[in-house]
Structure 1
Amino acid sequence: MTDSPPVIRNDEAGQYQLVLDDGMVAGFTEFVHDGPGRLIFPHTEIDPAFGGRGYGTALVSAAMADVAARGETVIPVCPFVVKYLKEHEVPGLKIEWKDRYVTIADEASTAGKNTAEKNPSDEGVGS
């Protein structure tokens, strides 16, 4: 993974955004408030022009670290976020797993290579 652009939390947009030097948003992971201190993460997207650079992983890593630092709880719904959290420990992060979404992420990860379905490990997931 190369050095990635900074990740900012944009509460107004409900997103953590990967922002380039020129201000362009190269990718985002959405969040929805589900009560005080609880965030649902339903979708992550990296602009296809920036795929293959590890930006998806860098984005979700920074977002989860920030959520942990704020003492908030993550409810992962996005397959990319689910997969990231299953493979990486984030110190201090509180996670509320929803079995349905873990199953969906697992199925997407093991989908045959001849399908058009995106794998949650794809950097451009959701695009």
Structure 2
Amino acid sequence: MTDDTITVTRAEGRYDIHVGDVRAGYTVFRPDSQGRLSFPHTEIDPAFRGRGLATTLVADAMADVAARGETVVPHCPLVSKYLRENEVEGLEIAWPREQHPE
């Protein structure tokens, strides 16, 4: 029997998503000059694609950022799409000029 428990954890400069003991993907963040968290890239291992893990990863990461009172700058297309389609209670978003939603 395999452990398919999904967990999201914050590490130095990224959030990781694990399926059991295996890291299945991550989303990277970097503080900008104003202390906001810029999210430039999200990646899911090809072996784990098609399971909704990217959405779970971004949802958990954004909820954690909101709980910490930090501001997100979404440069990653996946993070941007998630934030356009979902309300994250308490999350401050600083949209890049080129990605500002309508």
Q: Give the TM-score of the pair, scaled to structure 1.
A: 0.71
Q: Which amino acid aligns with 1:29?
A: T
Cα deviation code 1:1-42 (max 9, x no counterpart): xx861100002xx110002322x2101000001146410000
In the alignment of these two chains, the number of paired residues is: 98
1:17 aligns with 2:16: yes
Structure 2: segments with no counterpart, 5+ residues? none
**Equivalences for residues 1-127 of structure 1 within 5 A:** 5-11=6-12, 14-22=13-21, 24-35=22-33, 37-102=35-100
Q: 1:70 to 1:52 in 2, by over 3 A?
A: same
Structure holding more strand per residue:
2
Q: 1:35 to 1:99 in 2, by over 3 A?
A: closer
Structure 1: segments with no counterpart, 5+ residues? 104-127
Any idea what SS the aligned residue of 2:6 has? coil
Q: Which amino acid aligns with 2:93?
A: I
Cα deviation code 1:75-110 (max 9, x no counterpart): 00000000000000000000000122458xxxxxxx
Write the distance in 2 (CA, Å) between the matches of 1:4 and 1:84.
23
Query: Would the aligned equivalents of 1:6 and 1:18 in 2 still touch at CA under 8 Å?
Result: yes
CA RMSD of aligned residues (A): 1.8
